[in-house]
Structure 1
Amino acid sequence: MTNSETKRLNFAKSAPKAFKALIGFDTAAREGLDPVLVELVQIRASQLNGCAYCLHMHTTDARKAGESEERLHMVQVWREASGFFTEAERAALELTEAVTLVSHGGVPADVYARAAEHFAEPELARLLALIFTINTWNRIALSTAKVPDTDERTAA
């Protein structure tokens, strides 16, 4: 059996306390945030991290929250498609990229300042927490080789 064929663990079953703690953190992060914004952030981080499992899950959730196909197609190129997103969404997407790619130079002061212009401090804190959680979920899905279109949220 090669490494790519090695059966990976089920994180939720193997570390249930850690999994439940992460669900609690994720739930707290989302509180009071616009559900469409939540999905846009999760989609962008999942794109950057190459997480097909989470990308499939969150594009599906975005559609359920009323997001249009047109905007979903533009998330990856949001800078060039500025007319598709509000200033607040653009600030959130920019912050998502900076936090997700934090090893590429940290979170620039101007990026943080733009986000702070659009989100009150408690909301900005929850937005940051949301970015932290999706990056953790991406790493769990990638590390355990989750397969797209097998949403296991209801099975956990």
Structure 2
Amino acid sequence: MSTHAVRRVKIATHAPEFYQALIALDEVSALGIDPKLAHLVRIRASQLNGCAYCLDMHTLDARHEGDTEQRLHLVATWREARGFYTEQEQAALELTEAMTLISVDHVPDDKYAIAAAAFDPKELAQLMGLIIMINAWNRVGVTCRLEPGHYNPS
């Protein structure tokens, strides 16, 4: 095995149409979803997928939106810290984990039902789109080895 790092392709440079389509899809993925809840979803999926770049980005964005350090630190263990999260946030985190770890148990009915009880059908569909989108971005970040520490929230 080589000790030299393999240089990774930049999707934005070499597949700009695809990258722009991801950006366009991302812009509509959180429509109608509370920004704090959306960031929690993005953070939890990024933790599960091991995407340092997205985790850095979305924790910074969450702080910028006014979320607390305590909630951000505890999101990885949200089940043990339920008092810090609303029922709707807990339902979103449950669905995020099930959809992100889809190969484990294929989004079981009981986990889906928790989210379906907390969101109306339009909100639920939008939440599912958001979860799908962050998982796509995580795959870009991990595969391309995007480095954290270069993002500034606006």
TM tier, smaller:
over 0.9
Give the number of equivalent residue pairs: 154
Which runs of 4 or more aligned residues in structure 1 lie more than 3 Å from their structure 2 counterparts after TM superposition? 1-4
TM value normalised by structure 2: 0.94
Q: Distance in 1 between matches of 2:99 and 2:83?
A: 24
Aligned-pair identity (%): 52
The Cα shift of 1:2 comes to: 3.4
Report SS of the residue matched to 1:78.
helix
Preserved CA contact (<8 Å) 2:53 2:141: yes
Could you tell me which runs of 5 or more consecutive residues in structure 2 were left unpaired when the two chains were aligned.
Answer: none
Preserved CA contact (<8 Å) 2:60 2:152: no
> What residue is the counterpart of 1:2 in the other structure?
2
Q: Distance in 2 between matches of 1:103 and 1:4?
A: 32
TM value normalised by structure 1: 0.93
> What residue is the counterpart of 2:123 in the other structure?
123
Aligned-residue RMSD, C-alpha: 1.8
Q: Distance in 2 between matches of 1:150 and 1:107?
A: 34
Check 1:31–1:58 CA distance in 2 against 1; reply closer, same or farther (3 A cut).
same
Q: Distance in 2 between matches of 1:153 and 1:138?
A: 18
User: Cα deviation per residue 1:71-110 (whole Å; 9 max; x = unaligned)?
Assistant: 0011000000010000000000000000000000100111
Check 1:106–1:3 CA distance in 2 against 1; reply closer, same or farther (3 A cut).
farther
